[in-house]
Structure 1
Amino acid sequence: MTDAAEKDVISLLRDQHQRIRGLFDDVSGASTTESKQVLFDELRRLLAVHETAEEMVTHPRARMADGNAVVDSLLAEEHEAKEMLADLDGMDVSDAGFDAKLATLRSAVLAHAEHEELEEFPLLRSSNDEQSLELMAKAVRAAEAIAPTHPHPRAGESLITNAALGPIASVVDRTRDAVRAVLG
């Protein structure tokens, strides 16, 4: 399993959790407003696509492993984090209060990641063979490729909602990101 293409879903998501932790550190430690904005945009994008993919792939599989209570709790945490992320997404990184709100989001997201790693990942590992876990990793990468790049807390957190509304939101988000990149 050394090849990235053969990575299982649990390894993939743990790696993403590490990247998210690092991006929170990078945003908080950025030396200029410009670099802080670039890093926050990267963090926002990663959080948005990561959560969408989990909602579409891993949470339904955890439910199949009698993980309804775990998934319900995770979805509540994700909704709260999306609300916070949407609030931050509407702010400039130099706005008063941005750093405090980022710290609150960081705490919530890192607690959520730990919750997944301690409760959901063992369900996935015990109820799926290695091939299934590798296929789920491919499904996560596919979902991330078409996922919205901004939080949409009012859209919901279900597989059905993400499948129905995600591609539309993704096109809008990716167009907005491209326009912002061109206009600066």
Structure 2
Amino acid sequence: MQATSQDIVDTLLAQHQQIKTLFAQVQSATGEPKEELFHELVALLAVHESVEESLVHPLAEDKLPDGGDVVPARLAEEQEAKEALAALYDLGVAHPEFDPRLAALRDAVTAHAEAEEAFEFIRLREVVDPDRLVTMASAMTAVAAMSPTRPHPGVPANPAANLLLGPPLAVFDRVRDAVRDATRGAR
């Protein structure tokens, strides 16, 4: 008997739960732990959205009868979230406006995730071969490795832009993250 592999929908649903958990942890933390958790949340959201833009949204647009209506709404929500997340990143966790803005972002991201789950993810299972969804879960690893770890609102939300601009931005972000982590450890 062969074990069932996790498909891309399972993986994205698990990431949605992880994102909700990280929002709660950031909201309740203080000081350096809050900053570390926030950076973890930023990276997860940036990579997660890149994967969706590269793999899931194009599939939904192609395979779902109303994909041409569903996907643009999700992309618009993702763009707003990227802009809000980038602004929060620049603001910093110690700023007095951080927590209220984080709460607003959390609410928007939660509503966005629920819409993706209802209008894309679950419906894709009805129209896409299960083996293809499993294969796409494997492709997520490659896309994630080439994805930036910080939102870049100026990058168009499409597979071509992610393929062309994602890798150099990913290298830049990962070097920046390593420098940040190294300087934090030196303090």
Deviation at 1:2, TM superposition (A): 6.2
5+ residue gaps, structure 1, are none
Deviation at 1:96, TM superposition (A): 1.3
Read off the aligned partner of 2:178 and give its amino acid letter. A
Deviations 1:74-123 (A, max 9, x none): 00000000000000111220111000110111011000000000001133
- Asked if the contact 1:21/1:110 (under 8 Å) is kept, the reply is yes
Deviations 1:118-152 (A, max 9, x none): 00113311221111010111112221111000000
Write out the 4+ residue segments of structure 1 that deviate beyond 2 Å after TM superposition: none
- Asked if the contact 1:49/1:149 (under 8 Å) is kept, the reply is yes
Partner residue, 2:183: 183
5+ residue gaps, structure 2, are none
Partner residue, 2:79: 79
C-alpha distance in structure 2 between counterparts of 1:2 and 1:104, whole Å: 41
- Asked if the contact 1:82/1:152 (under 8 Å) is kept, the reply is yes
C-alpha distance in structure 1 between counterparts of 2:120 and 2:108, whole Å: 17
Matched residue SS, 2:154: helix
Read off the aligned partner of 2:117 and give its amino acid letter. E
Give yes or no for the alignment of 1:168 onto 2:158.
no
Read off the aligned partner of 1:98 and give its amino acid letter. F
C-alpha distance in structure 2 between counterparts of 1:126 and 1:49, whole Å: 26
Partner residue, 1:44: 42
Name the TM-score, length of structure 2 as normaliser: 0.93
More displaced 10-residue stretch of structure 1: 120-129 or 162-171? 120-129
Partner residue, 1:55: 53
Partner residue, 1:9: 8
Read off the aligned partner of 2:139 and give its amino acid letter. A
C-alpha distance in structure 1 between counterparts of 2:131 and 2:72, whole Å: 26
C-alpha distance in structure 2 between counterparts of 1:140 and 1:54, whole Å: 9
